[in-house]
């Protein structure tokens, strides 16, 4: 429940600053516009942001609208300049996944969006994060 800042500087192929460049934000690898904001809190989403006279630009992405794993693409464009595309940008901070749950004594069971099961000598921990299921295989600790 926070917005995360992304900032950059619009420059041409020679490193010169580009003022008033239009910066469009998309979901990585697509032309699907991402929902971004000009402010850290409040306000409505914006279609794009513009670079200032010093070439800098910034926008915010809200973590209630995207999973932490979501990557983004930005396209910086201005008439008279070749546009620049930067894809697969990580905006959300990378944090370890912590799963806290009570497990049955025999290490086999289920609890909503997680399952622990055994198959032969192998044990598996399966959990749902977002709309994907993840699985790891483990062995008994003695």
3-class secondary structure for the chain? CCEEEEEEECECCCCCECCCCEEEEEECCCCCECCEECCCCCCCCECCEECCCCCEEEEEEECCCCCCCCEEEEEEECCCCCCEEEEEEECCCCCCCCCCCCCCCCCCEEECCEEEEEECCEEEEEEEECCEEEEEEECCCC
Same domain? For 16 and 84 the reply is yes
Q: Which of 96, 40, 86 is nearest to 63 (CA)?
A: 40
Q: How far is CA 57 from the centre of its chain?
A: 19
Print the domain residue range for 43: 3-90
Name the one residue in this structure whose structure tokens are 């055994």: 118
Query: In the prediction, which pLDDT does 19 show?
Result: 97
Strand partners, 129: 132
pLDDT for the residue 28? 95
Same domain, 7 and 27: yes
Q: Is the whole model's pTM more than 0.75, yes or no? A: no
Q: What is the mean pLDDT of residues 49-66?
A: 95
Same domain, 124 and 75: no
pLDDT digits (tens, 9 = 90+) for 100-141: 555 444 444 445 566 666 666 666 777 776 667 777 776 555
Q: Is residue 12 part of a domain?
A: yes
Residue 22 lies in a domain: yes
Lowest mean pLDDT of 9-23, 61-75, 78-92, 121-135, name the range.
121-135
Among all chains, which residue has been given the structure tokens 């239009």?
22
Confirm whether 48 is domain-assigned. yes
Instruction: Return the sign of the alpha-carbon dihedral for residues 43, 49, 50, 54.
Output: positive
Please tell me whether residues 43 and 107 are part of one structural domain: no
Q: Are residues 55 and 79 in the same domain?
A: yes
6-50 pLDDT, tens digit per residue, is 999 999 989 999 999 999 999 999 999 999 999 999 999 999 999
CA distances from 20 to 7, 13, 37, 86 (A): 15, 16, 18, 18
Predicted pLDDT at 98: 52
Residue 142, domain member (yes or no): no
Average pLDDT (64-88) is: 93
């Amino acid at each position: 429940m926070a917005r995360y800042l992304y900032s950059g500087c619009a420059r041409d192929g020679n490193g010169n600053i580009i003022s008033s460049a239009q910066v469009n934000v998309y979901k990585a690898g697509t032309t699907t516009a991402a929902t971004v904001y000009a402010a850290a809190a409040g306000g409505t989403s914006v279609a794009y942001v513009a670079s200032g006279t010093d070439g800098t630009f910034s926008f915010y992405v809200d973590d209630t609208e995207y999973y932490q794993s979501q990557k983004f693409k930005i396209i910086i464009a201005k008439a008279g300049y070749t546009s620049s595309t930067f894809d697969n940008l990580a905006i959300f901070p990378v944090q370890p996944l912590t799963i806290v749950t009570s497990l049955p004594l025999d290490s086999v069971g289920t609890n909503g969006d997680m399952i622990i099961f055994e198959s032969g000598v192998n044990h598996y921990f399966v959990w749902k994060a977002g709309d994907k299921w993840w699985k790891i295989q483990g062995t008994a600790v003695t």
